[in-house]
Structure 1
Amino acid sequence: MTYEVLPVGDDQWSIVAWLWQDFRHDLGTVVNGFPLPDGRYRHEWLDAYPAPDRSGYLAWAPHPNTGEPAPIGFALVRGLLPDPELSRDERLMQAFFVVPAARRDGLGRSFALDVISRHPGLWAIPFQHDNTAARSFWPRVATEAWGAEWTETTEAVPGRVDVPPDHWIRSR
């Protein structure tokens, strides 16, 4: 599948918001997530975009029925400016999503690598323990991006003693 990765334009955040609902729906079985009373899923992370230390990307491909450009995924990255409160200056893949119909052909891997390559430096990629797709996807991406120069650790989810710790991949 041919596709193009572009920064989210000022007038395209509503597109990301629509895809965000699909992203959170996908995670619903992993995080036991229900929609809020208004029918939407949690979106506070998305609400923090755009910002000077954050960037978003959309992956676009021709729609299979119309040929028109269609959004097939998004990535949200934060930590693009130094933060004196953090112990290390790193970019964080805060959210990453590819629509189900565009998965399984390597597009997600190349999309993730494209986004990582746009922001040189140290990276952190967190994901939930019970997200089995992410647990196989992100280590492969890390190896391709950084070779053996990465680690995977687990960290407790703040305020959630009832869930397994998150996994964190960090480049070195």
Structure 2
Amino acid sequence: MSPAVRPVADDEWGIVAWLWQDFRHDLGTVVGGFPYADGRYQHAWLDEYPRPDGAGYLVWQPHPNTGEDAPVAFATVRGVGTGTCTMQAFFVVPAARRGGVGRWFARAVVARHPGTWTVPFQHDNHAAAAFWRRVAAELWDDAWVETEEPVPGKPDLAPDHWIRSTLSP
């Protein structure tokens, strides 16, 4: 069976919250992130969902031990309906990486929301940089730019990188 991408249902945001902790754990080495006193990593962005101008997606595929559908990736998007969407969060569980699921998923999410796109990632997140540059080239050919922008309120950090498409896919 192939993986399936579906919008996050109202009763599935708890699943995204579990995966979010993996996502933030992965970023911990890049952003120097520690869990807070309750044992959870930063989740303020996730707490904004569901939101009127947002969308969330999960990728499901059969679990190798049970065959039951299991979530292997999620994405959150803001700016839906505005003409420019932002990939606010994107995560593929480590066991599902390197097989093309991430690129397939990124293309599927972008295809659902016509218009231009922005994709931010941290300066020191080299895996994300390589991934998103490759995806941008596949989606937009040479109709994208990458800029560096200061992290708001954190002048001591390296700037974030932003990929911006200059036309719709």
Asked whether the two chains share a fold, i.e. TM above 0.5, the reply is: yes
What amino acid is the match of 2:24? Answer: R
Structure-2 residue corresponding to 1:145: 139
Distance 1:111 1:21 in 2: 20
Map of 1:41-80 to 2, 5 A cutoff?
A: 41-80=41-80
In structure 1, how many angstroms separate the alpha carbons of the residues matched to 2:12 and 2:49? 11
Residue aligned with 1:35, SS:
coil
- Equivalent pairs counted in the alignment come to 166
TM-score by length of 1: 0.95
With the length of structure 2 as denominator, give the TM-score of the two structures. 0.96
User: Which aligned pairs between 1:27-106 and structure 2 lie closer than 5 A?
Assistant: 27-82=27-82, 89-106=83-100
Measure, in 2, the Cα distance between the counterparts of 1:104 and 1:61. 15
- The alignment-based identity, stated in percent, is 66
State the alpha-carbon separation in 2 of the partners of residues 133 and 152 from structure 1: 16
Aligned position for 1:113: 107
CA contact (8 A) 1:58 1:71 kept: yes
How far has the Cα of 1:51 moved from its partner? 1.0
Instruction: Give the superposed CA RMSD.
Output: 0.8
Unaligned ranges ≥5, structure 2? none
| 1:50-108 residue CA offsets vs partner (Å, 9 max, x unmatched) | 011000000000000000000001000000133xxxxxx41000000000000001110
Aligned to 2:129: 135
User: Which stretches of structure 1, 4 residues or longer, exceed 6 Å deviation after superposition?
Assistant: none
Q: Deviations over 1:30-63 (max 9, x none)?
A: 0000000000000000000001100000000000
- Structure 1: give runs of 5+ residues left out of the alignment: 83-88
